[in-house]
A = this chain, B = another copy of it.
Amino acid sequence: MLNPEHICLIGTGKLSRHLAKKLRLYKGKPIYIWGRNSDKAAQIAGEFELIHLEDLMQIPMNCVAIFCVSDHAIETLANKLKGIADFMVHLSGTQTIHVLTKYTLNAAVMWPVQSFSFQSHMEWKRIPLVLEVSNTDSKEWLMELVSALGGMPVFLDEESRKKLHLAAVVSNNFLNHLMVLTETWCIENKLDFQLLRPLISQSIANLNDQSPTELQTGPASRNDQTIVQAHLDMLQAHAQLKEVYSLMSSQISENNRI
């Protein structure tokens, strides 16, 4: 009867570091870490009192292997741990569970819907963990892990997870790209980007009790073509921002005419 009692983190990226920091111990035992970049693995192990594995094959028996690696690296590493790790978990929003089930019966996906940076503190209890499992044993073991992390479990099938991942790209990466364009514009025009912070925070806070559709304001939503055109004229030398401005304004105006 299997019953994974150790955790081994595979990989040394931001997410691995956040898991190491949050877990430290699992079922009273120190957790393990292995990484292709051995120095980085040793550094995380040192910082959070983990056991550093120089060689992946030193992984203990009765182990949950958590793949905190790039999507394309998961399958190769899962293959190496075939017959060794009791239970394999990957953390990808886009990869199928089958990159693991090819090599083990007991597999799960646990995708945290969050943007992990090196600096910030993670409030795990607020983070949705999107889950998928290969069988009932995996479900039981995964829920132990979820409970150790304190995240918010949400079971979704692969198709829905991929769709939610797309939404996450839009609302995280594209939102951040708008901030890149805005910051660049501010720097080029000697304006303090920080002046916009209360506005940005309030725009997000307003989403707590209202739908973004109800919240839309501004020149494009009023179809104020004089201001839209004046802005496009100001953007002559700012190709990226001009393209985004033009596309978004026309979509906002279009939605407001409906």
Q: Which residues of A contact B (CB under 8 A)?
A: 71, 94, 113-115, 117, 119-120, 123, 126-128, 130, 154, 160, 162-164, 166-183, 185-186, 189-191, 193, 195-207, 209-213, 215-221, 224, 227, 230-231, 234-235, 240-241, 243-245, 247-248, 251-252, 254-255
Copies held by the complex: 2
- At the interface, is chain A mostly helix, strand, loop or mixed? helix
Q: Which residues of B contact A243 (CB under 8 A)?
A: 247, 251
| Distance A247 CA – B246 CA, assembled complex (angstroms) | 11
Q: A172-B217, A177-B252, A200-B207 are in contact. List 5 more A-B contacts (CB 8 A).
A: A120-B205, A170-B182, A177-B248, A183-B212, A244-B247
| Distance A173 CA – B215 CA, assembled complex (angstroms) | 9
B247, A202: Cβ atoms under 8 Å?
no
| Distance A71 CA – B218 CA, assembled complex (angstroms) | 12
A170-B245, A174-B248, A234-B166 known; A94+B227 contact, CB < 8 A: yes
17 residue pairs bridging A and B, Cβ less than 8 Å apart: A71-B224, A115-B215, A115-B217, A119-B206, A123-B198, A130-B195, A160-B189, A160-B191, A164-B191, A164-B195, A166-B185, A169-B245, A173-B219, A174-B244, A175-B204, A177-B248, A197-B207
B178, A170: Cβ atoms under 8 Å?
yes
B204, A168: Cβ atoms under 8 Å?
no
A219: min CB distance to chain B, Å: 6
Closest to A227 in B: B94
A95: min CB distance to chain B, Å: 10
Q: Which residues of B contact A198 (CB under 8 A)?
A: 113-114, 123, 126-128
A109: min CB distance to chain B, Å: 15
| Distance A167 CA – B218 CA, assembled complex (angstroms) | 12
A117, B215: Cβ atoms under 8 Å?
yes
A120-B206, A191-B163, A202-B115 known; A173+B244 contact, CB < 8 A: no
Q: Which residues of B contact A119 (CB under 8 A)?
A: 206, 209-210
- Which one of B120, B182, B209 lies within 8 Å of A171 (CB-CB)? B182
Q: Which residues of B contact A182 (CB under 8 A)?
A: 167, 170-171
B203, A172: Cβ atoms under 8 Å?
yes
| Distance A193 CA – B172 CA, assembled complex (angstroms) | 13
B245, A247: Cβ atoms under 8 Å?
no
